[in-house]
């Protein structure tokens, strides 16, 4: 069965028009590594959302890490991307994406663009993605890479403090935060539609919990997903 699934993913990668992003020449040199990542790191560990699995089988993760680390792009772990930040472990990206339960017509906010990898996965899954990054060098590089890979039509990038969200573009159907505050930012909760989902790691360096918060008409429902370790969510000192 796993061989059949791997073959199906490789076929999907080769079909014209599959996904939203055109591939650069040579990028499919990593197609087998992507399929293996999906099979061994994601499916084998309980990721069941077929749309998430297919999205992560399409997004060229190796194009969104430093060139010196491309050979390790599909390793089972985080990688440094500069400026003291990291690209998350593929399983964590898949877990967060699956928890959002996206169907394809949603507007999604991401706090913490980083390399742009999670934003690219979201662009495969949703109708429109807004992504905020505090570090100027990362924001500029991610915007260039995401445009180069063909995600520009679906993505809105912004340099700024993600704690406050993106009020003028709100409300959002889903929000994902890729750095850890010590508490849930209230502005993000307020920018969700009723029924909207927020996935966020919360805690300090001593321990963090990945949370799923669902906004309802009567309040917020909280669910703990798994222990994680993210870089801290930094704030703009001028805001």
Task: Give the residue numbers marked as catalytic.
Answer: 88
- Give the other-Cβ count within 10 Å of 1's Cβ: 6
Measured distance CA(222)–CA(124) in Å, rounded: 26
Is residue 109 within 8 Å of 102, Cβ to Cβ? no
* Residue linked to tokens 């076929």: 11
Residue 60 is encoded by which pair of tokens?
A: 């060229």
In order, the DSSP letters of 84-130 are TEEEPPHHHHHHHHHHHT--SS-EEEEE--TTSHHHHHHHHHSSEEE
């Amino acid at each position: 069965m796993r061989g059949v699934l791997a073959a199906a993913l490789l076929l999907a990668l080769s079909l014209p028009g599959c996904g939203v992003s055109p591939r650069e020449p040579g990028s499919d040199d990593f197609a087998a590594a992507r399929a293996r990542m999906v099979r061994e790191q994601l499916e084998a560990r309980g990721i069941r959302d077929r749309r998430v699995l297919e999205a992560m089988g399409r997004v060229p993760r190796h194009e969104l890490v430093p060139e010196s680390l491309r050979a390790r792009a599909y390793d089972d772990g985080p990688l440094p991307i500069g400026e003291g930040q990291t690209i998350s472990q593929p399983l964590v990206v898949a877990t967060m994406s699956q928890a959002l339960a996206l169907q394809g017509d949603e507007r999604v906010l991401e706090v913490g663009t980083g390399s742009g990898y999670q934003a690219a996965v979201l662009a495969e899954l949703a109708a429109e993605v807004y992504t905020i990054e505090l570090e100027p060098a990362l924001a500029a590089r991610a915007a260039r890479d995401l445009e180069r890979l063909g995600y520009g039509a679906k993505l809105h990038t912004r340099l700024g403090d993600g704690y406050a969200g993106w009020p003028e573009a709100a409300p959002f159907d889903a929000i994902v935060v890729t750095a850890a505050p010590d508490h849930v930012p209230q502005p993000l909760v307020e920018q969700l539609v009723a029924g909207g989902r927020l996935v966020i790691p919360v805690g300090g360096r001593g321990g963090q919990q990945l949370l799923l918060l669902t906004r309802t008409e009567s309040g917020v429902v909280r669910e703990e997903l798994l222990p994680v370790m993210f870089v801290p969510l930094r704030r703009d000192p001028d805001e």
